[in-house]
Amino acid sequence: MIHQYDVIIVGAGGAGLQAAIEIPTESRCAVLTKVFPTRSHTGTAQGGVSAALGNEEEDSWEWHAFDTVKGGDYLGDQDAIETMCKDAIRAIIELEHMGMPFNRTPEGKIAQRMFGGHTANFGEKPVRRACYSADRTGHVMLQTLYEQCMKNDVTFFNEYHVMDLIIREGVCRGLVAIEIKTGEIHIFHAKAVMFATGGYGRVFQITSNAMAGTGDGFEMAYRNGVPLEDMEFVQFHPTGLWKLGILVSEAARGEGGILRNKDGERFMERYAPSIKDLAPRDMVSRAIYTEIKEGRGIEASDGSFYVGLDLTHLGKEIIEEKLPEITGFAKTYLGVDANEEWIPVQPTTHYAMGGIPTTIDAEVIVDENNTTMPGFYAAGECACVSVHGANRLGTNSLLDILVFGRRGGKKITEFLVNAEFPELPDDASEWTQNTIKRIRNNDNSVKMIDVRNEMQFTMMDTCSVFRVEESMKEGLQKIKELQEKYLLVGIDDKSKGFNTDLLEVVELGSLLNTAETIITCAINRKESRGAHWREDYAKRDDTNWLKHSLIFGTTGSTPDIRYKPVIIKQFEPKERVY
């Protein structure tokens, strides 16, 4: 079946919905999503969304921009960061007008809390900048944006799994999707396509990400010749629930929570004397692993180690009013009452700093000279603008999706004024058909779950918080072997409708190819910066590495890595001390 729309947006998280709201109703726009819109990962965001409103104390967008640049270890593009931090204030007020139920100050203003790496006066002391709705900020944001889409009569194709982009002669012409309910293939012919497909956390064994975070958008772009930027930068959030990886928001530390080692010591005082537990995530994750490595972790009954997140001094009222969700998770999944005991935590794979390169208007960039591809846009976690550089600050992603989702929607609207439907090739669905045929015809001797487990273990083991060349090379070798094995993976369930076995195999293909780009770029970058920490190159090296990496390569070929300069404006790179 062939559909024609002026614009197709893939993804119904914050970025996709915010973009859809901007497309005027006279244009035909549809949103495709593999999960029901309000189940997108944005809905799980807990802690907050940043904007220098200054409602609780003095703040300014320049301080916010400085913190974002420094937090990202000077790899972020400062033009994009300025754009985001300036626009944050408008974005929050707009959400408030849409009806988002923020927590309030006693005078009725939007309340704000502290978060990691957000400071006053260029690093002097922590500042209250995160706007929040208890610890369900993403949930209410997604519901609010979805309501606006309903109001604007946006067309949704829910539970459509996008399989391939149609790119010919450097022009994006639409995409191919499977309708999950029927198993039918649909071709969507479009003047403009926007990817807002979220992250890839499921590449790793321990992650805070939803099951759907399988990197499909990154992989589809890459498979069709679009480079990926800064893929080596993977954020590990310091406080995942021990062994499970379920997130315990930084808001817990924003409200005064303290990390403790087995001696009860507040160890962050040694690593970041000025902002302690509110240091950026990369630093806190490394500190936790260092404590464990040096014998100060807390030993669990199974012989593994964690550290404690101490909220016991906050009092029941704060916990119930501001942190109900995460303390509920601790109770439900680990049987821990946060009022009485420390929550056992360990770092968990959380966020993709890298992704599909874009301009500040979400236009996809295809080379190191910033050439854009007509008709293709990307925003949100799958995109790399780059505002987060080498390490994202908490609360800056919910902001990123609002600001760049909206800018993308506006840019597409401009593009549509003169755009025509590009020609649709006859072989548009060939790759999709062949892939489905292969998976269906394989005998099921190689199991999806075995390949996926091995990949997730390998990535966790060789390419997580601390990295070293030799082990990463072994990891890459293993990923390549798994890519070969993957071609033999089959399924028992041969039915057409709701064949989740088949789609999980498709997702595994995305995960494996995304894993390859991450580890290849991590081997290539011979310095330590932000979340990319090389034990064999333990220093940041601005002389050789103050640049973005772009990995090119269609699957099967040896990837080519090229570079793009970092845009520096008012903040010259300095040593990163907190």
Ligand X SMILES: Cc1cc2nc3c(=O)[nH]c(=O)nc-3n(C[C@H](O)[C@H](O)[C@H](O)COP(=O)(O)OP(=O)(O)OC[C@H]3O[C@@H](n4cnc5c(N)ncnc54)[C@H](O)[C@@H]3O)c2cc1C
Q: With respect to ligand X, which residue has the nearer C-beta, 133 or 261?
A: 133
How are beta strands 112-120 and 125-131 bridged, if at all? antiparallel
Report CA 338 to chain centroid distance, whole Å: 28
Does 448 help bind ligand X (rule: CB under 6 A)?
A: no
Question: CA nearest 382: which of 358, 349, 399, 417?
Answer: 358
Tell me the residue type at 131.
C
Q: Restricting to residues 495-554, which ones interact with ligand X according to CB under 6 A? A: none
For ligand X, give the closer residue by CB, 209 or 261. 209
Amino acid in position 509: G
Check binding of 10 to ligand X (CB under 6 A). Answer: yes
Which of 310/381 has CB closer to ligand X? 381
Tell me the residue nearest to ligand X as measured from the CB.
Answer: 13
Of positions 19, 29, 35, 100, contacts ligand X by CB under 6 A: 35
Stretch that binds ligand X, among 207-215, 311-319, 459-467, 560-568 (CB under 6 A): 207-215
SS (H, E, C) 385-399: CCCCCCCCCCCHHHH
Smaller CB distance to ligand X: residue 368 or 507? Answer: 507
Question: Closest CB to ligand X among 127 and 561?
Answer: 127
Give the rounded distance of the alpha carbon of 273 from its chain centre: 29
Residue 13: CB minimum distance to ligand X, A: 2
Contact with ligand X (CB under 6 A) among 8, 12, 465, 521 = 12
Is 407 among the catalytic positions? no
Distances (CA, A) of 246 to 201, 202, 287, 291: 12, 12, 20, 21
Q: What share of the chain is helix, strand, coil (3-state, %, to 5)?
A: 35, 25, 40
**Identified binder of ligand X from the candidate list 21, 69, 81, 162, rule CB under 6 A:** 162
Does 174 interact with ligand X (rule: CB under 6 A)? Answer: no
x-or-dash string of contact with ligand X, 391-430, rule CB under 6 A: ---xxxxx--x-----------------------------
Q: Does residue number 45 form part of the binding site for ligand X (CB under 6 A)? A: yes
Residues within window 90-109 making contact with ligand X, judged by CB under 6 A = none
What is the C-alpha to C-alpha distance for residues 92 and 102, in angstroms, rounded to an integer? 10
Comparing CB distances to ligand X, the nearer of 44 and 152 is 44
Parallel, antiparallel, or unpaired: how do β-strands 185-195 and 2-10 relate?
A: parallel
User: Nearest 5°: phi and psi at 309?
Assistant: -105, 115
Largest interatomic CA distance in the chain: 67
Residue among 39, 260, 281, 286 flagged as catalytic: 281
CB of 529 to ligand X, least distance (A): 21
Determine which helix (DSSP H) or strand (DSSP E) holds 416, and give its type and residue range. Answer: helix 396-416
How far apart CA 82 and CA 84 sit, in angstroms, is: 5
Q: Comparing C-alpha atoms, which of 88, 66, 48 is closest to residue 389?
A: 66
Prior bond of 445 cis (ω within 30°):
no
Binding of residue 275 to ligand X (CB under 6 A): no
- The strand ranges marked E within 372-465 are 372-378, 383-384
Q: Which of residues 352-381 bind ligand X (CB under 6 A)?
A: 380-381
Binding string, residues 230-249; x marks residues near ligand X by CB under 6 A: -----------------x-x
Residues labelled catalytic: 281
Q: Give me the residues that bind ligand X (CB under 6 A), please.
A: 10-16, 32-35, 40-42, 44-49, 137-138, 160-162, 196-199, 208-209, 212, 216-217, 247, 249, 351, 380-381, 394-398, 401
